[in-house]
């Protein structure tokens, strides 16, 4: 069964004024759909099915036929990255995390302000196109990082729990070249409950539920 474009849990205009409806619609129905189509075409061309979660597929790119490594990296990464992005934004987002995630950000990253400064720098410092990330390493540690193009932390063995798209298609209609303003707007729609949920799942998969 081919991969499909995931539906959003909110309307395209629900994140306004922080992210405008036109950007959301184009980003979702055109850019993300293109990645889904490209991934399906690559797998079909290689005679492979697409029954496993795309996140699992990205973790095992080296085991795939060499001729589709680039397509899976680019289109599969684009599909996985955007699928995460839509879920970690919410019309009721913003603020700060609480609970275990907040405590671990304090202990491992120096607190929320330090985390946000590092995340902002990751987003601003990514030259050209790419993503900023908050990930969980195989050792169960939180890490702020960035990646080029549509590369996913999954390809390096890390699990993304928060991601920000800094390709120009993600913000140019509304913010033009003002990437710093776009980053600040993103913080106002982050769904920290979803990020915390993803954090707990990542730790559970590492066997660190009570760590």
- Please write the tens of the pLDDT for every residue from 78-113: 999 999 999 999 999 999 999 999 999 999 999 999
State how far the Cα of 132 lies from the Cα of 4, in Å rounded to an integer: 24
pLDDT for residue 158 is more than 70: yes
- Domain enclosing residue 181, as ranges: 97-204
Q: Is residue 209 part of a domain?
A: no
pLDDT digit string, tens, across residues 9-26: 999 999 999 999 999 999
Q: Is residue 105 part of a domain?
A: yes
One domain for residues 52 and 107: no
Count of domains forming the chain: 2
Q: Is residue 9 part of a domain?
A: no
- b/e per residue, 154-189, with b = 16+ CB within 10 A? bbeebbbbbbbbbbeebbeebbeeebeebbebbbeb
Average pLDDT over residues 47-75: 95
The reply to whether 27 sits in an annotated binding site is yes
One domain for residues 150 and 81: no
What's residue 49's pLDDT?
A: 85
Choosing from 86, 115, 130, the residue where a domain stops is 86
Average pLDDT over residues 134-142: 98
pLDDT for residue 120 is more than 80: yes
Gap between the terminal Cα atoms of the chain: 38
One domain for residues 69 and 113: no
* Confidence (pTM): 0.95
One domain for residues 123 and 200: yes
Choosing from 66, 86, 106, the residue where a domain stops is 86
pLDDT digit string, tens, across residues 174-200: 999 999 999 999 999 999 999 999 999
Average pLDDT over residues 113-122: 99
What integer best gives the mean pLDDT of the chain?
97
One domain for residues 120 and 166: yes
Q: Is residue 79 part of a domain?
A: yes
pLDDT for residue 211 is more than 50: no
pLDDT for residue 210 is more than 60: no
The reply to whether 18 sits in an annotated binding site is no
Choosing from 86, 114, 142, the residue where a domain stops is 86
The reply to whether 82 sits in an annotated binding site is yes
pLDDT for residue 60 is more than 90: yes
The reply to whether 165 sits in an annotated binding site is yes
One domain for residues 82 and 101: no
One domain for residues 73 and 27: yes
């Amino acid at each position: 069964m081919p991969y499909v474009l995931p539906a959003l849990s909110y309307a395209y205009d629900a994140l306004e004024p922080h992210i405008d409806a036109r950007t959301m619609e184009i980003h979702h129905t055109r850019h993300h759909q293109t990645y889904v189509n490209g991934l399906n075409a690559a797998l079909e061309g290689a005679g492979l099915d697409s029954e496993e979660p795309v996140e699992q597929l990205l973790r095992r790119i080296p085991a795939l036929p060499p001729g589709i490594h680039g397509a899976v990296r680019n289109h599969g990464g684009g599909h996985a990255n955007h699928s995460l992005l839509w879920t970690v934004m919410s019309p009721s987002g913003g603020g700060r995390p609480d609970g275990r995630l907040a405590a671990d950000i304090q202990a491992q990253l120096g607190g929320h302000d330090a985390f946000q400064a590092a995340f902002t720098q990751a987003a601003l410092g990514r030259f050209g196109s790419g993503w900023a990330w908050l990930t969980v390493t195989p050792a169960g540690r939180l890490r702020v990082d960035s990646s080029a193009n549509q590369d996913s932390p999954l390809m390096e063995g890390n699990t993304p729990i928060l991601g920000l798209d800094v390709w120009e298609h993600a913000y140019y209609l509304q913010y033009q070249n003002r990437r710093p303003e776009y980053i600040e707007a993103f913080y106002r729609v982050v769904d920290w409950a979803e990020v915390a949920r993803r954090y707990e799942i990542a730790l559970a998969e590492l066997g660190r539920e009570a760590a």
